[in-house]
A and B are shown apart, each in its own frame.
Chain A
Amino acid sequence: MIELDQVTKIFDDGTTAVDDVSFTVEQGELCVLLGPSGCGKTTTMKMINRLVPLSRGKILIDGKDILHFADTELRMQIGYAIQEIGLFPHMTVAENIEVVPELRGWPKAKRRERAARLLDMVKLTPDDFMDRYPKELSGGQRQRVGVARALGADPEYLLMDEPFGAIDPITRVDLQNEFLKIQQDIRKTIVFVTHDIYEAIKMGDKIALMNGGKLIQFDTPFNILFNPQNEFVSGFVGRDRALKGLQLIRAKEVMRKTVYMAQATETVEELKRRVGPEHEKDEIPVAREDGTFAGFVNLQEADSGRVSEHLKHARAVASMDTVLDEALSVMLSGERNILAMLDHDDCVQGVLTFSDIQRALSEADQSRGTL
């Protein structure tokens, strides 16, 4: 748990960068510090590991005042990830990851093993990457190493300063998704700085929205979007908050689970009989014998023969773990208004239609003010 209590930073030149900020990051939670540039979010983060000294107030980690630790001791307990530029160019990938374990005096073999494990975790093959230098990696790979390095000595806490800032949007989404998956396993307590509201909504369990050094709203992403506390918050969220809300909702929460499934081997007549007249214009997902998704059959177009002869749109699928905005973009790019929702084994668990997404959004919007 990280507690900030009336934290204030006044720089030597008299400017107040952070003004009386208090919030608590619960154990295992990811808290995003969000706001326009110059709002004090990075300064706030850096006060936690004392890269920036506090002027007033208190910060407790695990109930202990950070002033009770020596600087270096405190920082070794808190993983620190910055933009990919923070990797040491004169060290190999493994050496970079081993920095904190080495500072802590771990033996070489244990460090190597840890580096290999972490590389695995961030989906870089250890044998291929351990001995490479940062400049021999792509931007996305460097960012992965940056995350692995922050986790080097398995700290309970992580500070991440726009860790996915300097990469192209597509790689960025991949990294965010992977990091969220990792976080589900490791459950670290994380403070994550970004100026990107999409990233904040996607990554955060909580968002601390700051402006001019002040904490404006500390809340769940949902409430930041749909219950903004004042004009600034709603302005920062923007008019497209419904669209942003798409990132908050997972497909499995709104998909229709009870759907008719067609077997690839049955005939169209059999299928039509089974689903009855009210569905005879529908598109029905088709499963192969092993249960995996094969495509859709359109009952309006297909009239005779086996279902397998009428398969279409085999790529109109998404994992049921995807958030709605990704599902929506699959729909838009394939000009489809129905997607098959797959589980980890590629078996169909339901379907998601465009109207399901609309329904979910209008429900979210109506709950505004009632939560």
Chain B
Amino acid sequence: MIRAWDYLMKNPDMVITWAVDHLMIIGVALSIALVIGVIVGVIISVPGREALADSVLYLAEIVMTIPSMALFGLLMLVLGGLGLSAIGFLPAVIALIVYGQLPILRNTHIAIKSVDPHMIEAGRGMGMSNWQILFKVELPLALPVILAGLRNSIVLLIGIAAIAALIGAGGLGVPIFRGLRTARYDLIVIGGVTVSIFALIIDGFMTLLERWITPRGLKRS
């Protein structure tokens, strides 16, 4: 513990680089996962597409069960085959997008499906188009649940992103794995503790964000 502190004091720039890399990977992956997850979630929630929704969610769940190591390996093959960089930032981000998808996708789907049909009928009865119903009624009502999905997804990705160090994407996985290989517990502690702190801070931040974004009328008092 003390040695970890010493290391941090002596090499603050190293630790900061790892942390920034880590956040970069998560940030990029999450933004893309959010867009895809919400769009796909909305598409599969259109009435009459129940079968599609089932298969998409099933597929997403299967992907989630693939161990991250195996997924990285798979991506290396695919990306290499396509002539793209098979290690580093790109495969890491793609893997995280894949993993981060499910909580967002599933929550979007559940949230939209659970919008009270009376609300939708009220909107339709007042002359809203399908798009207006989506943007003025369904998405605002679904927002708290979608945000909860986003939060699950972030916490999940912070952990998985550490493993991305193995394919050379950098991040806080670097000191952890280096420490494991060389029995340098101080490095493991630095990586592990920073990752945990990130998880806590971001979780707290998401709580604030949820509170801030959720319309007052939907808050539980």
Show the binding face of A for B, using Cβ within 8 Å: 49, 51, 71-76, 80, 82-83, 85-92, 99-100, 103, 133-136, 149, 152, 159
Task: List, in ascending order, chain B residues with CB within 8 A of A71's CB.
Answer: 127
What sequence of 0s and 1s flags, for each residue 204-218 of chain B, a beta carbon within 8 Å of any chain A beta carbon?
A: 000000000001111
Counting contact residues on chain B (CB < 8 A from A), the size range is 20 to 34
Shortest Cβ distance from A152 into B: residue: B126
Q: A159 is contacted by which of B125, B129, B215 (Cβ under 8 Å)?
A: B125
Q: B217 is contacted by which of A73, A76, A91 (Cβ under 8 Å)?
A: A91
| Cα–Cα, bound, A100→B126 (Å) | 6
B122 touches A89 (CB 8 A): no
Answer yes or no: B181 CB below 8 A from chain A CBs.
Answer: no
A72 touches B127 (CB 8 A): yes
A89 touches B217 (CB 8 A): yes
CB distance from A53 to the nearest CB of B (A): 13
Answer yes or no: B116 CB below 8 A from chain A CBs.
Answer: yes
Answer yes or no: B128 CB below 8 A from chain A CBs.
Answer: yes
Task: List, in ascending order, chain B residues with CB within 8 A of A82's CB.
Answer: 118, 121-122, 125
Task: List, in ascending order, chain B residues with CB within 8 A of A73's CB.
Answer: 127
Answer yes or no: B140 CB below 8 A from chain A CBs.
Answer: yes
Answer yes or no: B17 CB below 8 A from chain A CBs.
Answer: no
Q: Tell me the chain B residues, 64-103 only, with Cβ under 8 Å from chain A.
A: none
What's the dominant secondary structure at chain B's contact region? helix
Answer yes or no: B187 CB below 8 A from chain A CBs.
Answer: no
| Cα–Cα, bound, A74→B127 (Å) | 7
B218 touches A103 (CB 8 A): no
Most A CB within 10 A of own CB, among B121, B123, B126, B215: B126
CB distance from A96 to the nearest CB of B (A): 9
Task: List, in ascending order, chain B residues with CB within 8 A of A136's CB.
Answer: 217
Query: A103-B132, A133-B217, A134-B217 are known contacts. Are A88 and B125 too (CB-CB below 8 A)?
Result: no
Task: List, in ascending order, chain B residues with CB within 8 A of A149's CB.
Answer: 126
| Cα–Cα, bound, A117→B122 (Å) | 22
Q: A86 is contacted by which of B122, B143, B215 (Cβ under 8 Å)?
A: B122
Task: List, in ascending order, chain A residues with CB within 8 A of B32's CB.
Answer: none
Q: What number of A-B contacts does a CB cutoff of 8 Å give?
A: 70
Task: List, in ascending order, chain A residues with CB within 8 A of B123's CB.
Answer: 88, 99
Task: List, in ascending order, chain B residues with CB within 8 A of A92's CB.
Answer: 217
Show the binding face of B for A, using Cβ within 8 Å: 116, 118-119, 121-129, 132, 136-137, 140-141, 143, 215-218, 221
| Cα–Cα, bound, A91→B140 (Å) | 9
| Cα–Cα, bound, A149→B140 (Å) | 19
CB distance from B214 to the nearest CB of A (A): 9
Shortest Cβ distance from A100 into B: residue: B126
CB distance from A11 to the nearest CB of B (A): 16
Query: A51-B121, A82-B118 are known contacts. Are A100 and B217 too (CB-CB below 8 A)?
Result: no
Shortest Cβ distance from A93 into B: residue: B217
| Cα–Cα, bound, A212→B116 (Å) | 28
A75 touches B124 (CB 8 A): yes
| Cα–Cα, bound, A83→B122 (Å) | 10
A85 touches B124 (CB 8 A): no
| Cα–Cα, bound, A1→B126 (Å) | 20
| Cα–Cα, bound, A295→B159 (Å) | 82
Task: List, in ascending order, chain A residues with CB within 8 A of B116's CB.
Answer: 85
| Cα–Cα, bound, A135→B140 (Å) | 16
Task: List, in ascending order, chain A residues with CB within 8 A of B124's CB.
Answer: 51, 75
Task: List, in ascending order, chain B residues with CB within 8 A of A83's CB.
Answer: 118
A-B contacts besides A75-B127, A90-B218, A135-B221, 15 pairs, CB < 8 Å? A51-B124, A74-B127, A80-B122, A82-B118, A83-B118, A85-B118, A86-B121, A88-B217, A90-B215, A90-B217, A100-B127, A103-B128, A133-B216, A135-B217, A159-B125
A103 touches B126 (CB 8 A): yes
Shortest Cβ distance from A75 into B: residue: B127
| Cα–Cα, bound, A367→B141 (Å) | 55
A86 touches B119 (CB 8 A): yes
B127 touches A88 (CB 8 A): no
CB distance from A155 to the nearest CB of B (A): 10
Task: List, in ascending order, chain B residues with CB within 8 A of A85's CB.
Answer: 116, 118
Q: A88 is contacted by which of B122, B129, B216, B221 (Cβ under 8 Å)?
A: B122
Residue contacts A-B, CB under 8 angstroms, 10 given: A51-B124, A74-B127, A76-B127, A82-B118, A82-B121, A89-B141, A99-B128, A100-B127, A103-B126, A152-B126
| Cα–Cα, bound, A99→B129 (Å) | 12
Q: B126 is contacted by which of A76, A89, A90, A135 (Cβ under 8 Å)?
A: A76
